[in-house]
Amino acid sequence: MKTIALIGLALALGAGVLALGASPGDQAVTLIEKPADRRVDVLVGGQPVTSYLYPASLEKPVLYPLRTARGTVVTRGFPLEPKPGERADHPHHVGHWFNYGDVNGYDFWGHSSETPPELRAKAGTIVHKAITQIESGASQGTLSVEADWEVPGGDVLIHEQTRFVFAGHGAERSIDRTTTWTAANQRMVFGDTKEGAFGIRVARGLEHPQKEAEVFVSARGEKETVPRLDNTGVTGRYLASDGTTGEAVWGTTGPWMALSGQVGGSPVTIAILDHPSSYNHPTYWHARGYGLFAANPLGRHAFDSKLPPRTVTLEPKQSVTFRFRILLADGEMTRSQVQQEYDRFSQEP
């Protein structure tokens, strides 16, 4: 936890320093590599948007936190930077990540520092290996990385290559992620499970109001011991591409999903766009009212019991590629506005 605390402190200090003197109209994207801190900071117009983090204390690399152009943080702080009033559940939900819960029987999705000892033998870790490209630019910035999906004992199941493209336009910020998974030296079987895959854990204000008591972070930044019901400031509302809203979007398929609400009094929207070229497009949505916003292009029966299980298999050296965009906007976007964004994204080569 000491390493995690230091990460949070460094991010907070970095955000405060980098915001000084920035020009709101400047959309240049700057990437700053900090190898000693095992992170890469991303700025648009001199303002921090996110950081690529790969500390040894995490079980996978993540983007954390995610900020809008106005600087509103739309991701949950727990477990890296616990904030009073946040839910203290699912410690494996950190910022934005991309993994899966059943790969040859190993769970990469649910693995965290709190994984019980009896489950760790079947828990996988995504290990950052290298930064292969880091490029700032006048209109976009690019970060390419390599990682290995490792299991206890050191065997590598999957080699991962990911390319992030960061950009900003007016009140919007976008993060494109193109990820290729390549089976290493054995056959890879991805079982049909809801526990995946392209995930974001959102800030408390973007959750849906709940009817059951939950455990929250206390004023001291620690987990409370007694569950309670508290919907203060909870304003989230999912919107699917077909017009479905609220928690009814879970288990549906579609090319995009949006989540709007207010964080600290500021209206914001997060949208995940699934490019037509992405594997198993259109994706299923593992979008929960408690704050998990995820696209799952691998599961099927887990979302619709009337359909047969979908098993995805990669032979050694065989690859599969996914392409998504995260859109961060100040303001609540309408269905037609998100659709326009998707139409532009879908036409990009």
pLDDT digits (tens, 9 = 90+) for 151-173: 999 999 999 999 999 999 999 99
β-pairing verdict for 140-150 and 156-169 = antiparallel
Give the predicted TM-score (pTM) of the model: 0.92
154 vs 176: CA distance, rounded Å: 30
149 vs 156: CA distance, rounded Å: 6
Instruction: Check if the beta carbon of residue 283 is closer than 8 Å to that of residue 292.
Output: no
Query: Residue 225: its pLDDT value, please?
Result: 87
Query: Residue 26: its pLDDT value, please?
Result: 64
Instruction: Check if the beta carbon of residue 146 is closer than 8 Å to that of residue 299.
Output: no
Neighbours of 84 (CB within 10 A): 14
Q: What is the 3-state secondary structure (H, E, C) of the chain?
A: CHHHHHHHHHHHHHHHHHCCCCCCCCCCEEEEEEHHHCEEEEEECCEEEEEEECCCCCCCCEECCCECCCCCECECCCCCCCCCCCECCCCCCCCEEEEECCECCEECCCCCCCCCHHHHHHECEEEEEEEEEEECECCEEEEEEEEEEECCCCCEEEEEEEEEEEEEECCEEEEEEEEEEEECCCCEEECCCCCEEEEEEECHHHCCCCCCCECEECCCCCECCCCECCCCCCCCEEEECCCCEHHHHCCCEECEEEEEEEECCEEEEEEEEECCCCCCCCEEEEECCCCEEEEECCCCCCCCCCCCCCCEEECCCCEEEEEEEEEEEECCCCHHHHHHHHHHHHCCC
Q: List the chain pLDDT tens, one digit each, 349 residues.
A: 434 443 444 444 343 333 333 344 468 999 999 999 999 999 999 999 999 999 999 999 999 999 999 999 999 999 999 999 999 999 999 999 999 999 999 999 999 999 999 999 999 999 999 999 999 999 999 999 999 999 999 999 999 999 999 999 999 999 999 999 999 999 999 999 999 999 999 999 999 998 889 898 988 888 888 899 889 999 999 999 999 999 999 999 999 999 999 999 999 999 999 999 999 999 999 999 999 999 999 999 999 999 999 999 999 999 999 999 999 999 999 999 999 999 999 999 8
pLDDT digits (tens, 9 = 90+) for 250-269: 999 999 999 999 999 999 99
Closest C-alpha among 311, 310, 292, 289 to residue 301: 310
Q: Where do the structural domains in the chain lie, given as residue ranges?
A: 70-346
Q: How far apart are the first and last CA of the chain?
A: 42
